[in-house]
A and B are shown apart, each in its own frame.
Chain A
Amino acid sequence: MNKIPLKKTRFDIYAFSFLMLFASLLLVITNVFNRPNNDLVVNVYYEFNIIDTHELYINQSLVYRKDDYPRLLDDITVEITNGKVRIDEETSPLNYCSLQGWVEQSGTPIICAPNYFMVIIEERL
């Protein structure tokens, strides 16, 4: 059995450089070509389907109830204020999606994985 080397090799440097370059390129590409900027709305997904579309510039607080959406772990509150959106209240083991806070950049999803719930600012479909 060949044990993996513990000291860095020049191929590690190549791999590091390649990954950094590729990540930088991806950063540019996604920000330039993969951000919606026309007719933005807030789309709400449940179980991988859009269940609601809300105006981005109408301040509102929306509650999605477990009674209506059984795969939610509990009720989820989505808040939209001044072109920004966040998950205000949710129940999940680690509360990742509420910890993410306000999102104002279009094309940046807020994913509540255990709740099968996602909110994203994107173009009107």
Chain B
Amino acid sequence: MTKSLIHKMTRLALLLAIGVVINYAEAVLLPLAFIAPGVKLGLANTIGLIVLYYFGIKEYISIGFLRVILTALFTGFGFNFYIAISGWALATIVVVIFHYWQRLSIFGLSMASAVMHGVGQIIMVAILYQNKYIINYLPILFFTGIASGLIIAVIAREVVTRVRLTTSLDEYEK
């Protein structure tokens, strides 16, 4: 294993760990779900955007997936896990599509990701409960997703412009 690969894996592991901690800390310290079920700022998505910016789409998918799995180790692989994985899956599909389209900036990608995360969650809950009224939460999750997506994009942009990872990571580009 080359030094550069070890370096890359170490940084990704560190970002993954930060993502899991932020995810858990946000749920405890910044609960917004009293607005509506599923509403959250999604601070851990800043890590996803940072990974996407510095490493690329494969790493973005891997780190996102691992974050959901590792978070489930704390909260269990029950109902919450189904909701989380469906939200992640839909958000990731949309981000991958828009990333290859190359027209949206970090703001557009973050917004689309946040909104689709909520949509994925609602679809899963509606399927599990077989209840059409679950989708009444969609507009709230759209509006809060747009707002949280923009906030997350601002934070992620500040991080990538202030934290100088670029020079040490450019060597990993193929």
Contacts and interface: CB of A to CB of B under 8 A. Distances in A.
Same complex for A and B? Answer yes
B76 A118 contact: no
Contacts of B157: 6
Contacts, number: 130
Contact of A35 (B108, B136, B137, B139): B136
A6 B39 CA distance: 26
B105 A12 contact: yes
B53 interface: yes
Contacts of B142: 19, 22-23, 26
B138 interface: yes
Interface residues of B, number: 50
A97 B37 CA distance: 8
Max chain B C-beta neighbours (<10 A), residue from A34, A108, A109, A118: A109
Task: Place the interface of chain A in its size category.
Answer: 35 or more
Max chain B C-beta neighbours (<10 A), residue from A5, A97, A100: A5
22 contacts: A4-B99, A4-B104, A4-B109, A5-B104, A7-B105, A9-B103, A9-B104, A11-B103, A22-B142, A34-B132, A45-B129, A45-B131, A48-B128, A94-B27, A94-B28, A96-B37, A99-B31, A99-B33, A99-B34, A100-B33, A120-B133, A122-B131
Given A16-B146, A19-B115, A96 B107 contact: no
